[in-house]
Amino acid sequence: MNKKIFLNKNNNKPRLEVIPMIDIMMFLLVFFVILSLRMIEGSGISMEIPSSINPEIIEKSTLTVGVNNSGEIIFDSKVITKNELREELKKIEEADKYNIVIAGEKNTTLENLIEIMDEFRRVGISSVAIATQKKN
């Protein structure tokens, strides 16, 4: 029996490779940048909104209420009911300092938007805008 014994003469310690970690961090960065570009600015609501040829840019602070295709109301990144929306709107002391914006998804019904606008009128807010993106 001929046994061979191999000795590790290099005695290398294990290394921690940094380049794969950098690749993962870059992937995560790109992922979150792309995700944030799909959201409506300042609201955290991710929707595909309709486009317009000449949208108006709003300068003041905005309060955004979203309506998705199924008619769910999204306020402060949470799905709420009409009654909860009414209560949240009543808490707003100075509605004049806000530009109220309804962000309806591209395929939501007109009925859903009008129901939300009615909730604004019930609490005394009559000036409401609809969010759009610039048409290419």
Asked if the structure places residue 33 within a domain, the reply is yes
Asked if the structure places residue 85 within a domain, the reply is yes
Residues above pLDDT 90, as percent of the chain: 7
Helix axes 82-91, 110-122, angle to 10 degrees: 40
Residue 123 pLDDT level (bands cut at 50, 70, 90): confident
Tell me the per-residue pLDDT of 90-122, one tens digit each, with 9 for 90 and over: 877 665 566 778 888 888 888 888 888 888 888
Residue 25 pLDDT level (bands cut at 50, 70, 90): very high
Residue ranges making up the domain that contains 13: 9-136
Asked if the structure places residue 4 within a domain, the reply is no
Provide the whole-model pTM.
0.56
Asked if the structure places residue 2 within a domain, the reply is no
Residue 61: pLDDT above 70? no
